Chain A
Amino acid sequence: MTETQDPAAGTARPSRRALIGWGGAGLALGAAATGGAMALATTGDGRSAPDAVDFHGPHQAGIATAVQDRLHFAAFDVRTDDRAAFVRLLKEWTAAARRMTAGEEVGDGAHGGLPEAPPDDTGEALGLRASRLTLTIGFGPSLFAKFGLADRRPAALVDLPHFPGDNLDAARTGGDLCVQACADDPQVAVHAIRNLARIGFGTVAVRWSQLGFGKTSSTTPDAQTPRNLMGFKDGTRNIAGTETGRLGKFVWVGDGDGPAWMTGGSYLVARRIRMNIETWDRASLQEQEDVFGRDKGEGAPVGKAREHDAPFLKAMKPDAHVRLAHPDSNHGITILRRGYSFTDGTDGLGRLDAGLFFLAYQRDVREGFVPLQRSLSARDALNEYIQHVGSAVFAVPPGVRDADDWWGRTLFAKEA
C-alpha cells in the first residue's frame, strides 16, 4: 500500500527551481524547515519517478500519505445536467491525475504540438519533479441531489450543523466535489488544480480554492512535528500513515459501514479557520500555553517534559484546546488531521488574513468531526483567537485500483 510507505519521503526537499520560483515567500514560509535532503535521480527532463507517489491503490493517496509541504485545494460545482458528460470528465480527470502524479505532462504535453492550438498542458511544471504530488477527489452532499444519486448518498455524509461561532462565507463554503492537491513543491500542486479546472470547464466550475503553504500536521511521527501559525506544535498525536490498525478503525470506511461504493473510502471535513493573529501575538506566553495545554518550545503537555509524553489532561485548564480535543475527553474519537497554514495576504484592515485550513479524514463524520467540534466550539479557550469562516464536507471514494479504473467508478458505474 503506497500511502504508508517510506516516511523518509516526507523529508524530500523542494528542488532548487521550486525554491526560486516561490521566491521570498518560500523562505519566510518555512521551506527551510523541511530538513534533510533525499538523494534523487534526475532524468533528462528533470522530473523523476523516485519522488512520485503511486496513484493507484485500495485507498486514494493523499490521506495516509506522509503529509507533503504544500496544498492547493479546490471545490467545484457541477455545471451540467448530463450524467454521461460528468462521468466523461471523471475519466478525463483520472487520466490527467495519473500522469501528473507520475511527474508527466497532461495530454499531449506543454509544447511541440500544433502551433495553432493551445497546448494540452499549461507548462509551469516542466522541469519540476513529481514532488510527491497526490490528487484526492471527494463528493459533496450537494452532488447527491444531482444525476439521480439521491439514494446513493451515505448517511455518514451529513450536512454539517451550525456550530457556535461559525461565521461562514458562502463563497468559501460547500461544493459539489473537491480535489485536494498536495505536493512538496507549490507550483506542482497549483499546476495540478489549474489543469484539472481547465479540463473541467463547461462541466464543472471552481467554486472556491485555497492554497496552503505549511503542513500543520504530519502522519510521520518520527519527523519533526510541524507548528501552526500560532507557533505551537500541532498534530503530535495524529494517526500515523503506518498505523494500519488505527487507520482501519478511525479513517477508512469499512465493509458494511454504509453503501458499498464507499468501502475503502473516507470522509473529509475542510474548514477555513481564520486566526486573529495580531491579538494572539499580544497574549502572554502563559496564556498561550494555557490555551493549548502544551508548552510552546518543546510541545510537552502540561506537567510533562517531552512532546510525546502522555498528557495528563486534568493538569490542563478545563478549556485547554488539547484537553478538549483529546480522544480521552471524547469517548475515544480520533480523526486524521492533514491541515495547512494559509496566508491570503492582508484583509484591508492591515491584519494578516491567515490561519489554518483544517482538513480531517474520518470513517464517519457523525462520529468524528461533528461531536468533536460541538465540544470545541462550546468551550475551547482558543475560540477567542479563531473563527471558522469556510466549511465543506465530502465523501472521498476508495482508491483507483489500476490503469483501467477511474475516480468515482464505484459510485457511477452501473455494474459497481
Chain B
Amino acid sequence: MRAVRVSFVTAAATAAALTAVTGCTEKSAADGDGVIQVTAADSTCETSTTSVPAGQVTLKIANKGSRATEVEILFPDDRIVSEKENIGPGTKYTLTAEVKAGAYEIACRPGMKGLGVRQKLTVTGGGKAAARDPKLDKAVAAYREYAQEQADATIPAVETFAKAVDAGDLEAARNAYAPSRVGWERTEPIAESFGDIDPKTDTRADGLEKGQKWTGWHALEKALWQDKKIGAEQKTLAAQLVTDLKDWQRRVGRAEITPTSMANGAKELLDEVATGKVTGEEDRYSHTDLSDFRANVEGAQKAYELLKPVAAKNDAALTTELDKQFAALDALLDTHRSTDDAAQNGYTAYDKVTKEQRKELSDAVNALAEPLSKLAAAVVK
C-alpha cells in the first residue's frame, strides 16, 4: 500500500468540486426553468422534462414506490454529479445542483441497488463542460464496471480465507491468502483513493503509524507464515477484513474515474510492482509477491486496453511499444509459473527467485512503466 494518491478522488470530494452548489435544502423552487419533477417508483423513473438550461438544476423528487430509493444525476461515464440516497417510500425530497451544459442521465435506484432506471437529461446553454470523446466515456464506464467486478469477485475469495482462519486451518488459510488479494491488487489505485480502507486492509508492518493497530491481510500473513499460529485475535482480524472489504465493494463503483486517472492508475500499478513486489517487500512472510505482481500487471493492462483505441489514434508508436512490453512482461512472468506450492497461487515463491531473475523482472517492469507513463498524455492529446 501507499499512503497518498492523487489520481483518483472519491466521488464525494469531486462532486463538490464539480458542482459549486449542491443543495439539499428543502426550500421550494418555483416550477419553471431548471426544475424537474422526478417520480420514482419500484420499476419506473419518470421525469417531467428531458432538457433544462445550464445553471442551477432542481430535482423535485417524489418516491411513490414501496422501497427506499436513491436518485442521481450522472455524467455519461457514470460519475455522479449529485445524488440523494435513502429517500423513503412515500416521501419527497428536493435536490439542487449546479450543472454545466452537456449530456447527463437521471437515475432512480429503487432499493438503492443496481444500475437503476435511467432517463436522459440534456443541459443546454453556456458554460458548456468540455466535450469528451465518447470513446473515452465508454472506456471509463467499462473500467468502472471492471473495478466493481473485481470487488464482487473478491468477497467470496476473502470469505473463503476468513473461514479457513476461523476454522484454525493453517494450510487452508495459507492457500486462500494469495487468491483473496487478486481483485484488490488489480484495482488497487481505486481502493487507495478512498483513503480509509487501504490502511485497514493492506498495511505492512513498516507502514504502521504510531498508535495504529495492525489489521488486514499482512497482519494475518505474518501470523500464518512467521508465527505459524491462529488464535482468537487472528479470527477477529479475518472477520474485520471481510467487513472492510465489503465496505470497499460498496464504494468502488463511486470512485471518481477519468481517462487520465485510469492511465495514471495503470502506471501506479507498475509503480507498486517496482517498489513493492520486485523487492519482495509486499509479501515478505508468504513470498506470494508474484501473484500480486501478476494482478497489478493485469489491472494495468485492463486500463490500457480500454484506453487503447483513443491512445492509438493519437500516438500509434506508443501503443505499439506498450503492446510489445506488456507481452514481454507477461511472457517473463509465465516463466515463473509453478504449482510446487499451493499457497503461491500458481507462481514460484519469491524467496526462490534469484537476484539475477529479480533484475530481469525489474528491467522488464522499467521497460513497460516508462512508456506507460506517457499514456495519459496520449489519451488527452
Contact = CB atoms under 8 A, between A and B. Distances in A.
A205 B363 contact: yes
A118 interface: yes
Contact of B367 (A114, A116, A117, A202): A202
Nearest to B362: A205
Interface size class on chain B is 10 to 19
Nearest to A117: B377
Interface in B350-377: 359, 363, 366-371, 373-374, 376-377
A201 B366 contact: yes
B374 A118 contact: yes
Contacts of A201: 366-367, 369-371
A146 to B, nearest CB: 16
A392 B70 CA distance: 69
Contact of B325 (A114, A117, A202): A202
B366 A117 contact: no
A306 interface: no
Contacts of A79: 363, 367
A154 to B, nearest CB: 28
Contacts, number: 35
Given A79-B363, A202-B321, A205-B363, A114 B377 contact: yes
Given A202-B321, A202-B325, A202-B371, A116 B380 contact: yes
Contacts of B203: none
Interface size class on chain A is 10 to 19
B260 interface: yes
Nearest to A79: B363
B376 A116 contact: yes
Contacts of A114: 377, 380-381
Nearest to B264: A116
A169 B366 CA distance: 24
Contacts of A118: 373-374
Given A202-B321, A205-B363, A116 B370 contact: no
A114 B374 CA distance: 10
B366 A202 contact: yes
Interface in A283-322: none
Contact of A205 (B366, B371, B374): B366
A56 interface: no
A79 B371 CA distance: 15
A201 B374 CA distance: 13
Most chain B CB neighbours (cut-off 10 Å) among A79, A118, A202, A203: A202
Contacts of B321: 202
B363 A117 contact: no
A205 B374 CA distance: 19
Interface in A57-108: 79
Nearest to A197: B366
A366 interface: no
28 contacts: A79-B367, A114-B377, A116-B260, A116-B263, A116-B376, A116-B377, A116-B379, A116-B380, A117-B373, A117-B374, A117-B377, A118-B373, A198-B370, A201-B366, A201-B367, A201-B369, A201-B370, A201-B371, A202-B321, A202-B325, A202-B366, A202-B368, A202-B370, A202-B371, A205-B359, A205-B363, A205-B366, A205-B367
Given A203-B367, A205-B367, 5 more contacts: A116-B263, A117-B374, A198-B370, A201-B367, A205-B366
Interface of A: 79, 114, 116-118, 198, 201-203, 205
Complex A-B, nearest 8 residue pairs according to Cβ-Cβ distance, in ascending order: A117-B377, A202-B367, A201-B370, A205-B363, A116-B376, A201-B366, A116-B377, A114-B377
